[in-house]
Each structure stands twice: as structure tokens, then as C-alpha cells.
A and B are shown apart, each in its own frame.
Chain A
Amino acid sequence: SQTIHQWPATLVQPVGSPLSLECTVEGTSNPNLYWYRQAAGRGLQLLFYSVGIGQISSEVPQNLSASRPQDRQFILSSKKLLLSDSGFYLCAWSVTGVGDTQYFGPGTRLTVL
């Protein structure tokens, strides 16, 4: 069966520090991968999605970036965190795309102080 992992589960970082969040998927090949951010009272915002290694599409201009160095690995990064980067970050995967279910990881709670 397929599983999705995210780490760390929680993270507290000072403003201006770098960020690296990792997501890995097991049990499937060539998944579509997604990074979402969830801010209080604002639902989920799609940040990046990827249909293959090295292929990243950005949905929202910001100081975050994403990379996909391996088929089932998706990394969210920042060189300098802002207070507004605080939130709950969710990684998700799907198989075929349109109409397909997206399966979500457990999330990372990021607090920027």
C-alpha cells in the first residue's frame, strides 16, 4: 500500500533562517506531488506541484521554492523565512491527475518567530 511521510512534524524557526521540509511517498511510481499551506481560517493554498523529477510549477510567488530530486521525494525550501510563512504545510500525491484523489501526508506545523 502507499504511504506518505513528512518531516519534521513541528518546527519553530527564527525570522530570516532557512527552511527545508521533506516529503516522501512509498508504494507508487511517478506520482504527481503537491505542497499546500494551510493558514488559520483560510483553507488550503496550493504552493507547488510536480509531475516528474525536476519539473516544478509554482502557483504563488513568494520566498519559498520546491525541488524534486528523486521520483518520490519532494522538498520545500526557503533561504530566509518571514513571519508570514508560519502555517501548516501539507504534502500530497496523486496518480493520474485530473479527477484523481489526492492523498495527504500528516503535515508540518511551522512557527516563525
Chain B
Amino acid sequence: AQSVTQLDSQVPVFEEAPVELRCNYSSSVSVYLFWYVQYPNQGLQLLLKYLSGSTLVKGINGFEAEFNKSQTSFHLRKPSVHISDTAEYFCAVSGITDKLIFGTGTRLQVFP
């Protein structure tokens, strides 16, 4: 069975500071990994995904994530956040089926 753990339910950070949102997964098969962002009362939007190849994945809005197979992690990073990055961020994994298993989410709050 697959599972995803997002260790931080909330991450407060000041504007222009760097941020890292942590995600660890568990799977017995090869995985595909995703990060989605959700703004208040909206659906989810894909930030980036890892399917294969380079372990450093770049996404929209200046975000990037690194797949680390040995540590079973897929942490999301941004070198300088903006107020507009305030949102809920979800890590998700899929394997041999197309079903996505989501983490419980991390609320990123950016302060001026």
C-alpha cells in the first residue's frame, strides 16, 4: 500500500524568505509524485510532478522539488516566497494505478 506523510500542518514564513514543505512517501513499487496547490475555496492546481529522469523537478510559480529515493522524500522548495503563495499545498503519490494518494496538506502562510 502507498501512503504520503506531510509532516508540517502549517508553515509560517515572512515574505521573500525561502521555504521548504516536506513530503515523505511509502510505496513498494515505483512511484510518481505530485505537488498540488489549493487556494481558498478553489480546486487543486498542479505545481509539478516527478515521473522519471532528473530528480530535480521545476514547476510553476518558481517552485521546485527534489525526488530522493533513498530517503523516500519529495520536498517542495521556493527560494523566495510572496504573499500570493499563501495557500494549502498537497503532496500526492501514484504507482501502478492512476489513483492518487494525498497527504493531509501543509498550510503555507506568508507574512509581510
Contact = CB atoms under 8 A, between A and B. Distances in A.
B94 interface: yes
Interface stretch (A14-22, A77-85, A96-104): A96-104
A45 B94 CA distance: 14
Interface residues of A, number: 25
B45 A101 contact: no
Main secondary structure of the interface of B (DSSP, over half): loop
Nearest to A106: B43
B25 to A, nearest CB: 13
Greatest chain B CB density within 10 A among A42, A43, A106, A107 is at A43
Interface string B87-102: 0001000111111101
Given A43-B103, A44-B102, A99-B51, A104 B96 contact: no
Given A46-B99, A98-B98, 12 more contacts: A44-B90, A44-B100, A49-B99, A90-B44, A92-B44, A97-B97, A98-B95, A99-B32, A99-B94, A103-B46, A104-B36, A105-B43
Interface of A: 32, 41-46, 49, 59, 90, 92, 94, 96-107, 109
